[in-house]
Structure 1
Amino acid sequence: MSVKQFFFALFILVASATSAQNNSKEVLFTINEKPYYSDEFSRVYKKNLDLVKDESQKDLGQYLELFIGYKLKVNKAYKLGLENSTRYQNELKTYRSQLAKNYFNDTKITEALIAEGYNRLQKEVKASHILILADENATPEDTLKAYKKIEEIRKKALAGDNFGDLAVQYSEDPSAKENKGNLGYFTAFRMVYAFENAAYNTPKGQISKITRTRFGYHILKVDDVRENRGEITVAHIMILNPKPEDTDQEKAKNTINDIYKKIQQGEKFEDLAQQFSEDKSSSSKGGVLNKFGSGQLSSEEFENAAFSLNTPNEISKPIQSQFGWHIVKLIEKHPVKTMAEMKVELETKIGKDERSKKLVTSLNEKLRKKYSYKRDSKQYGLLAKLVTNDFYENKWVLPANTKDFTATLLNINGTKKIEGKTFLEYIEKQQKSGIAIKPVPKLVDALYERFLDEQLTAFYDDNLETEFPDFANVMEEYRDGLLLFDLMEKEIWERAKTDTIGLQSFYNEHKSEHLWKNRVEANIFSSTKMDVMKKALALIKKKTDLAKIKETLNVDNVVNIMVKSGLFEEGSDTLPKGMKFEVGVSDIFKEGEYYFITQVEKVLPAGVKTFEECKGKITNDYQQYLEQRWVDDLKKEYTVKVNMDVFERVKRQLKP
Structure 2
Amino acid sequence: MRNLFLSLLLLGSVSTFAQTVFTYGPHSVSKNEFWRAYTKNNTGAVSETSIRDYLELYIRFKLKVQAAKDSKLDTLPTLKGDVAGFRAQLVEQYMRQQTSSRDLVQEAVQRSTEELEIAHVFVAYGADSAAAKTQIEKSYKELTGGADFNKTVAAYTTNEAIRKNAGYIGYISAFSLPYELENIVYSLKTGSISKPVAGANGWHIFKLLSRRATAGKLKAAQILFTIPQGASAAEKEAIKKQADSVYQLLQNGLKFADAALAYSTDKFSYNTGGVLPEFTFTSYDPAFSSVAFGLKKDGDISRPFLTSLGWHIVQRIAVTPFKVDLNDIQAFEEWNAKVSTDTRINVAREMLKQRLQTICGYKALPFQEQQLWKLTDTMLKSKNYVTFFNANRSKPLFQLKGKTITIADWLQYAKSQQRNLPVNQSNQNFSNLYKQFVNETVEQYYKDRLEQMNEDFNYQVKEFAEGSLLFEVMERTIWSKAPADSAGLITYYNNNKSKYKWMPSVNAVLFNCADTTVAHEALRMMQQHPERWKEIMDNMSGRALADSGRYEYAQLPVKAGTNLVPGLFTPVETNENDGSASFCYILKKYPGEEQRSFDEARGLVINDYQLLLEEKWINQLKKKYPVKVNEMLIKSLK
Question: What interval of TM-score do these two structures reach, taking the shorter chain for normalisation?
Answer: 0.3 to 0.5
Which has more radius of gyration? 2
TM-score by length of 1: 0.44
